[in-house]
A and B are shown apart, each in its own frame.
Chain A
Amino acid sequence: MMEALSYEFFRNALYAGLLASLICGVIGSLVVVNRIVFLAGGVAHASYGGVGLAFYLGLPVLPVTAGFSTLAALCMAWVTLNSRERADTVIGVLWAAGMALGIILLDLTPGYNSDLMSYLFGSILAVPDSDLWLMAGLSAAVLVLVALFSRGLFVMSFDLEFARSRGVPVRFLHFLLMGLTALCVVMVIRVVGLILVMALLTIPPFMAERRARSLPGMMFLAGCLSAVFCVAGLYLSYALDLTCGATIIGVACIGFALSLALPRRNRPVPGGDGAA
């Protein structure tokens, strides 16, 4: 590990992994408790359209993808709020449309696009300093927004009906949460790629949820677990010469399986009617 750390690309990879973990802990927890994992998946895949657009226009990838994904996320938020009946179907369409757009735009872009795969499966070993700063900026923005709107977000996550009855602006918060999810997804794409984003967004929060006693606690624990997976995955991929993103997810999946195998805290349910 010490030897690996002497390379700048490895240090940058480590920083990128830790930043992504921080944000995955916070946003992943909100995504899981609000049951919008499918929506987050839609945003992740649609964001490929942003990658294609950036290449086609010859602009920097991360900012363009961030903008594009946010737009896609807000569209999906609007769809879920206004056509609940078939919202999941429409999300599925947007999911595919975004990806197709990305591929077509890349086809139309002259030259050889070697980077294509790196956005599907991550390119954490090729994070330049500039992207690192952008990631840090996005993380800070996401954290500040979550902190500012924490009361409303938490009440809504816990009980939507109650939040609505108390005049909490749940429509606005739903849009906000989707926008934050988009920013989070863009950051994580750097680390594990858009195919594997969902794993990092859902596995650590799922493991944390059962052990935490509060939503901030769940976020913290999920962030720590995610950091462990990233660091361990990075090291293993370096030592064994494996694809980095996939190794990180592999470690996370093993962690997930272990956490299922470990006994849960005993949960006596007096009355016997606890719908677990």
Chain B
Amino acid sequence: MSTPAIEISDLWFAYNGVRVLDKVNLTLPVGDFLAVLGPNGGGKSTLLRLLLGLLKPGGGSIRVLGSPPGQAGGRIGFLPQFTQVSASFPITVLGAVVMGLVRPGVNWPAGRATRRQERQTAREALARVGLADQAGRRLSDLSGGQRQRVFIARAIVSGPELLLLDEPTASVDGKSRQELMELLARLNSDMTIVMVSHDMSTVDGCVNSIACVNRTLHHHADSRLTPLIFAQATGADLMAGCPVELLAHGAVPHRVVLAHDDPGCCGGRHAKKDDGGLPS
């Protein structure tokens, strides 16, 4: 069997002495599409930053594509959270995608591909996300959903084997969200995908497995949203409220409806979730 895309064992990480991640174990095979769910502050983003090598683990080991984090370079594509980029930045759609060709280190002008080659590569990436006709527009003229696809193009322009996405569907409308998920499902045929999200409606057909992160990590190798997963992903105090809310969000798997057919609706189910052995 080939090297797993991600291999984590006994990982922990602490901010100011408080362990936000503890006893994390995960082996993700190549080609998987993992949704990382969990409550805010549960450690999802920290895990992503550890995978990117932006944070050093307190203990345990991580290997990404067989290398220590931060050393896989252009083999990892990354989509940061939506809010990172200023809307007034002067850049065209094509220019933004070219940014994805940056390599680790100084990037001396002499060592770069020609401007023409870079723009050609960027055009191909834009075509893959369905925005070939938008290449010359100013990025700020695009809608939120389109912009998010531009950033996915930037993430994949270097031909990565692993794509890490931080809240890709936050702040886009329902229709764009569905288009994004379809796009990711297509990209999944070429690369392993790890998607951090607190939006469970994104866990539809294309996701292969689910990891619930709330200080520790529970990996569910199939993508069925069971009441246990739901409780792990939302935290013990059920901040996300009644699962009926999920039905309002575009493409929701039917199994959520099934799970919710229990008599007693939220009250009864909430009581059940609370004794699901969750860390509080």
Q: Which residues of A contact B (CB under 8 A)?
A: 33, 35, 147-152, 154-155, 157-169, 208-215, 217-218, 267-271, 273-276
Contacts and interface: CB of A to CB of B under 8 A. Distances in A.
Query: Ordered nearest first, which 4 A-B pairs have the shortest CB separation?
Result: A167-B104, A271-B143, A151-B107, A212-B90
Contact of B104 (A35, A161, A166): A166
Nearest to A211: B90
A152 B90 contact: no
Interface string B162-182: 000000000111001000000
Contact of B90 (A155, A167, A213, A275): A213
B99 interface: yes
A148 B70 contact: no
Contact of A276 (B87, B112, B142, B176): B87
Given A151-B109, A270-B143, A213 B91 contact: yes
A273 B173 contact: yes
A217 B91 CA distance: 9
Contact of A271 (B87, B103, B173): B173
B141 A268 contact: yes
Contacts of A271: 143-146, 172-173, 176
Contacts of B89: 33, 157-158, 209, 215
B105 interface: yes
Interface string B109-146: 10010000000000000000000000000101111111
B84 interface: yes
Contact of B143 (A155, A158, A273): A273
Nearest to A29: B90
B54 A164 contact: yes
B106 A159 contact: no
Contacts of B107: 149, 151-152, 168
Nearest to A205: B90
B74 A166 contact: yes
Nearest to B145: A271
B86 A33 contact: yes
21 contacts: A148-B108, A148-B109, A158-B89, A160-B84, A161-B84, A162-B154, A165-B54, A165-B80, A166-B74, A166-B78, A167-B103, A168-B104, A168-B105, A168-B107, A210-B88, A210-B90, A215-B90, A267-B140, A270-B146, A274-B140, A276-B87
Interface of B: 52-54, 70, 73-74, 76, 78, 80-81, 84-92, 95-96, 99, 102-109, 112, 138, 140-146, 154, 171-173, 176
A209 B86 CA distance: 12
Nearest to B79: A162
Contacts of A154: 99
Contacts of B54: 164-165
A24 to B, nearest CB: 17
A167 B106 contact: no
Nearest to A221: B90
Given A155-B99, A274-B144, A167 B91 contact: no
Given A165-B54, A267-B141, A271-B145, A276 B88 contact: yes
Nearest to B49: A165
Q: Which of B86, B105, B154 has the most CB of A within 10 A?
A: B86
Contacts of B140: 267, 274, 276
Given A148-B109, A166-B74, A270-B142, 17 more contacts: A148-B108, A151-B107, A154-B99, A158-B99, A162-B99, A164-B52, A165-B52, A165-B80, A166-B78, A169-B106, A213-B90, A214-B91, A215-B90, A267-B140, A270-B143, A271-B172, A273-B172
Contacts of A165: 52, 54, 76, 78, 80
B74 A158 contact: no
B71 to A, nearest CB: 8
Nearest to A34: B86
B102 to A, nearest CB: 5
B163 to A, nearest CB: 12
A217 B138 CA distance: 13
B95 A214 contact: yes
Contacts of A164: 52, 54
A217 B92 CA distance: 11
A150 B92 contact: no
Among B70, B91, B103, max chain A CB count under 10 A is at: B91
B112 A274 contact: no
A155 B74 CA distance: 14
B90 A218 contact: yes
B238 to A, nearest CB: 28
B109 A166 contact: no
Contact of A274 (B73, B87, B103): B87
Contacts of A267: 140-141
Residue in B52, B53, B80, B102 whose Cβ sees the most chain A Cβ within 10 Å? B102
A169 B105 contact: yes
A210 B176 CA distance: 27
Given A165-B52, A167-B70, A273 B144 contact: yes
